[in-house]
Amino acid sequence: MLACRRSALTFIRCNANVMSAEKREKHTLPDLPYDYNALEPVISAEIMKLHHSKHHATYVNNLNVAEEKLQEAKSKNDISTIISLAPALKFNGGGHINHTIFWQNLSPCGGSAEGELLEAIKRDFGSLENMKTKLSAAAVGVQGSGWGWLGYNKETQKLQLAACANQDPLQATTGLIPLFGIDVWEHAYYLQYKNVRPDYVKAIFDIVNWKDVSERYAKAKCN
């Protein structure tokens, strides 16, 4: 199990677009591939609307503000300001990355793991159910807010689980390529599941878009 502990400065170094673009396009809130009520009864329409249009939108807006300040600081060679912006870039950039993956990871129709992904899961975890159990434990066990992840380790060429605090982005902080993430910030479930995080984590496997996870796995192996 990996914990996401690399510094905020590492996140900046790993995101060349943030640091190098003299003229950049602003980040935008991605459209959902389904309606707000499409994931019911697992996730309510109320939660989805707040989560997407308020929380994710805030990460996007704050990331744009931080990048504008960063660009100005770079133009002035203001090292102190550049360093001071690292936490905002990591938090809001991570929030944008994580949620963009999260929406695609879910589907009203759910589905089942199959093909090369399923074989890899069996190879590295013994069975799909064993992987679900371990990932659930990682997600439920996050202290405070954060994410549980299924990722791909290019060095070992194996699947691996990780738990990340706050909005720490998986790849920039652990090197693992994100395949499937479970958001365990309270805004993702509290209105519906109250303080019973395990029930939310258990239910979310009913709406996993395994096709998306499989495509991410195939891409991760090729890159």
The upper half-sphere exposure of residue 51, i.e. CA atoms within 13 Å in the direction of its Cβ, equals 26
Query: Whose CA is closest to 188, among 158, 133, 148?
Result: 148
Secondary structure (3-state) at 196: coil
Residues forming a β-bridge with 163: 3, 148
Q: Quote the CA–CA distance of 30 and 46 in Å, as a whole number.
A: 18
| Residue at token pair 């709406």 | 207
Instruction: Answer yes or no: is 187 a known binding residue.
Output: yes
Instruction: Answer yes or no: is 56 a known binding residue.
Output: no
Residues forming a β-bridge with 175: none
DSSP string, 161-181: EEEEETT--HHHHH-PEEEEE
Q: Quote the CA–CA distance of 123 and 128 in Å, as a whole number.
A: 10
98: which 2 tokens? Answer: 């994580």
Instruction: Answer yes or no: is 96 a known binding residue.
Output: no
81: which 2 tokens? Answer: 């300001």
CB 199 within 8 A of CB 125: no
List the binding residues for Mn(2+): 51, 99, 183, 187
Annotated binding-site positions: 51, 99, 183, 187
